[in-house]
Amino acid sequence: MKGLDKIYVKTAKWFSSIILDEKKNCYEIIFTHISDLNFSRFFIEYFKIFLQRLGYSIEGEKVSSKFFSILFKEPQRSKL
């Protein structure tokens, strides 16, 4: 999260904040910004692909004009 914060909040200033919230069985990452709904719609797809390529499974999402959030689970470990 520190890397995402450094790139997208402090350097590029695309987001006002990025918050990682640990839930019972998953995580929620919340991105806040001062743009519009189209910005949220574009970037939620971008970060869903990013998380999926890291092996996380997407469990849910929320989108509004000033924030979006993604619920995701850690990659499943294979049982041998």
The amino acid sitting at 33 is H
Other residues' Cβ atoms within 10 Å of the Cβ of residue 6: 12
The pLDDT of residue 78 is: 61
Here the tokens at position 52 are 């999926």
**How far is residue 4's CA from residue 23's CA, in Å, rounded to a whole number?**
20
CATH code for residues 2-73:
3.30.70
Per-residue tens of pLDDT for the chain, all 80 residues: 778 888 888 888 889 999 999 998 999 999 999 999 999 999 999 999 999 999 999 999 999 999 999 999 988 766 55
Per the DSSP assignment, residues forming a β-bridge with 16 are none
Is the whole-model pTM more than 0.75? yes
Q: Where are the domains of the chain?
A: 2-73
The pLDDT of residue 79 is: 59
Q: Which helix (H) or strand (E) holds 27?
A: strand 27-32
